[in-house]
Structure 1
Amino acid sequence: MTTDDILLKDLNEAGLLRLTLNDARRRNALSEAMLTALGTAFAEAGENPAVRVIILAANGPAFCAGHDLKEMTSGRAQPDCGKAYFTKIMSMCSGVMQGIVNCPKPVIAEVTGIATAAGCQLVASCDLAIAADSAQFSTPGVHIGLFCSTPMVALSRNVAAKNAMEMLLTGDMTSAERAVEIGLINRAVSGNALRAATQEMALKIASKSSMTLATGKRAFYAQRELPLKEAYDYASEVMVNNMLALDAREGIGAFIEKRTPQWQDA
């Protein structure tokens, strides 16, 4: 399976880029090939002005089962017992997750089936997530002697500490309903309504100024890591610069004049 086959890409006229994990035989595992494809796709989408919102979906019964453990285990045959290879894969995976956060375009996960380990990390790394009500999530590394330490980074930044620790320490499956309750996903809908629900949200977001969305996404993740005063100082500076932008002038003017704004994405 080629890189183009493993990750399908479809960009429509509304600026919605649909990336579909397409390695159902391996439960859409984050193999080296998949990580390469995802990293490239998010980097290219971030630079493409035609892309306004990214939807990350999957074919098959699993959204993503995490790392390809068979592929990872093959690295143990090396003289260093796989340390260099494991380091490479973890670096690639962390790069993809950070690439999603750093991508200026909003990313929505559309989840069917299971999202486990690094697959759960993938969902948590997306800005928004909508799942089928039959979807399930887990960080099951403890079952095989491998704590889900890198999935923990994304998980702990999206759900409360005790909920994250429960998932990490037990490895139990979490239902879509529970995932909504703890903030891992935005909502759960029937499987038949999933694509339409994701599309509706994506189109709503795509109708906004892409400059404003990029500004807000970048600021959201930056301020979250700062102490309160520093966060307000940073956010105030961002807002001042945002006020000087063309689209802010247009948007405020349109609001006052009761008309539809004409975005220049600048």
Structure 2
Amino acid sequence: MTEINAAFGVEDDVARIEIRREAKLNAVDMETKRAITDRLGEYRDRDDVQVVLFESAGNDAFCAGGDLQEVKEREYALEPFTETWEDLFTEMRTMPQPTVAKIDGHTYGGGFDLLLHTDIPIAADDAQIGQPESTLGVVNHFSPPELVHRVGLPTTMDLLMTGEAISGERADEIGLVARSVPADALDATVESALDALTAKSPRVLKKLKRSVYASAEMSPTAAKSHVEAISLEAARTDPDYREGVDAQLERRDPDWS
């Protein structure tokens, strides 16, 4: 049986997925990608999973992308690698729970794309983040649409064409990550974000995630109407709005059951 280079666990409503391949800068092989994708499919329907965290073993790399040795062994066929990444990214974006990534060290190629498809990526300010596919003779097709939308055309061209890495701090400045913090504060910052997410109504976060991604494909006017309709319907039919307001007035923690 092929070894899976990842560990999985659920505790305190957080599902933690840790890539474990330090010797190869946490590069992800196809079997590990499939295992992560399958596990996300299981998590989406679990009541004890309110948020999913992606992290990696060690401090040298979040993920250096795919396994180049695997590419050579498969006679340089690109489709198997892009298909397994696509399956993973689709699962990440369509699963109802929010996803968080702890970005430390080297984050390249597929690791860069993994960051892009995470809802809330949080980076160490000294992380090295880059998209070097052009150096490998590959035309990257995962990053361009998302990058143009997020950081603009000139910055997208710079990142993809030069292949040069930027720091986590710079990634924060251009809107590539949600926030960056000093490396020694990364663990505490991520845990604080997880605590904030698990304290919210799971139903509200699921509807918010779905509506935000759907509205991103619409015109501003259509997006506003779409999200407003979801908000008003939720206030009428779900208990969260009433419970949230009552808890605030009564100075207690809300009960989202």
The two structures have a TM-score, normalised by structure 2, of: 0.92
Partner of residue 68, structure 2? 69
> What SS does the corresponding residue of 1:263 show, helix, strand or coil?
coil
Name the structure 2 match of 1:27: 25
Which is further off, 24-33 or 212-221? 24-33
Name the counterpart of 2:37: 39
Which residue of the other structure, out of 104, 114, 128, is the alignment partner of 1:122?
114
What does 1:201-240 correspond to in 2, within 5 Å? 201-240=193-232
Given candidates 154, 158, 166, the residue that maps to 1:162 is 154
Could you tell me the percent identity over the aligned residues?
Answer: 27
CA distance in structure 1 between the partners assigned to 2:150 and 2:87 by the alignment = 18
Shift of 1:165: 2.0
Aligned mates of 1:120, 1:145 — CA distance in 2: 17
> What is the rounded CA distance, in whole Å, between the counterparts of 1:219 and 1:104 in structure 2?
11
Give the letter for the 1:99 counterpart.
E
| 1:248 to partner: Cα distance | 1.9
Other-structure match for 1:2:
3
The letter for the 1-side match of 2:192 is E
CA distance in 2 between counterparts of 1:165 and 1:38 reads 30
Unaligned runs of 5+ in 2: none
1:174-193 matches, within 5 Å, as: 174-193=166-185
State which of 242, 248, 255 in structure 2 corresponds to 1:249.
242
In the TM superposition, residue 168 of structure 1 has moved relative to its aligned partner by 0.8
Alpha-carbon offset, residue 250 of structure 1:
1.6
> For 1:127-148, what per-residue CA distance to the aligned partner results, in whole angstroms no more than 9, with x for missing partners?
1111222211111111122122
Aligned length: 254
- 2:88 aligns with 96
Quote how far apart the aligned CAs of 1:48 are.
Answer: 1.2
Letter in 2 for 1:18: R
Q: Is the 8 A contact 2:124 2:169 kept in 1?
A: no
- Give the superposition deviation at 1:236: 2.2
Work out whether residues 52 and 97 of structure 2, in 8 Å CA contact, stay in contact via their aligned partners in 1: yes
Matched letter for residue 56 of structure 2: A
Mapped partners of 1:231, 1:131: distance in 2: 29
Q: What TM-score results when the alignment is normalised by the length of structure 1?
A: 0.89
Taking the aligned partners of 1:105 and 1:117, their CA distance within structure 2 comes to 25
Contact persistence 2:37–2:87 (CA under 8 A): yes
* CA RMSD, 1 decimal: 1.8
Letter in structure 2 aligned against 1:249: R
Higher helix share: 1
Q: Amino acid of the residue matched to residue 176 of structure 1? A: G
